[in-house]
C-alpha cells in the first residue's frame, strides 16, 4: 500500500460517512471541477483525503468528533467497534 492509499474498506463496508459537501452554504460559482465559496465554508468535511497521518491526540480527537458528527444515527457501540477496527 502506498502512502496515498488508505484502508477505508471497513468504513465503506459499514457505510460510515467520512466526507460530506456543504448542506446550507451555497457556492458563489459552480464549475465542472467543483464549487467555489467566495467567503469559504465550514460545512465541508473530507477526512483521510491526503497522505498526512494523524500524529497527535488532538488530531485524533478532532477526527473522531467529525466522524461522530457526520454519523448521528450510529450507535455508540458500533462507533467504538469501528474505531477499534480501523485504528489497529
Question: At a CB cut-off of 8 Å and minimum separation 6, what does 37 contact?
Answer: 22, 25, 27, 28
Task: Tell me how many domains the chain contains.
Answer: 1
SS percent in the chain: helix, strand, coil, step 5? 35, 10, 55
Q: Are the beta carbons of 19 and 49 closer than 8 angstroms? A: yes
Enclosing domain of residue 42: 9-87
Domain-located, residue 26 = yes
pLDDT by position in tens, the chain (length 88):
444 456 778 788 888 888 877 776 777 777 788 777 777 776 777 788 777 888 898 988 888 888 888 888 888 888 888 777 766 5
> Residue 29 and residue 31: Cα distance in Å, rounded?
7
pTM of the model: 0.68
Query: Is the Cα dihedral 67, 69, 73, 74 positive or negative?
Result: positive
For residue 4, tell me if it sits in a domain.
no
Q: 3 in a domain, yes or no?
A: no
Q: Let me know if residue 28 belongs to a domain.
A: yes
In a domain, 22, yes or no: yes
- 23-34: pLDDT as tens digits: 767 777 777 887
Amino acid at each position: 500500500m502506498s502512502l496515498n492509499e488508505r484502508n477505508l474498506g471497513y468504513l465503506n463496508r459499514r457505510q460510515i460517512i467520512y466526507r460530506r459537501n456543504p448542506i446550507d452554504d451555497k457556492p458563489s460559482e459552480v464549475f465542472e471541477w467543483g464549487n467555489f465559496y467566495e467567503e469559504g465554508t465550514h460545512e465541508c468535511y473530507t477526512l483521510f483525503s491526503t497522505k498526512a497521518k494523524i500524529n497527535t491526540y488532538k488530531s485524533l480527537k478532532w477526527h473522531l468528533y467529525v466522524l461522530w458528527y457526520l454519523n448521528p444515527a450510529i450507535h455508540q457501540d458500533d462507533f467504538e467497534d469501528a474505531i477499534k477496527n480501523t485504528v489497529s
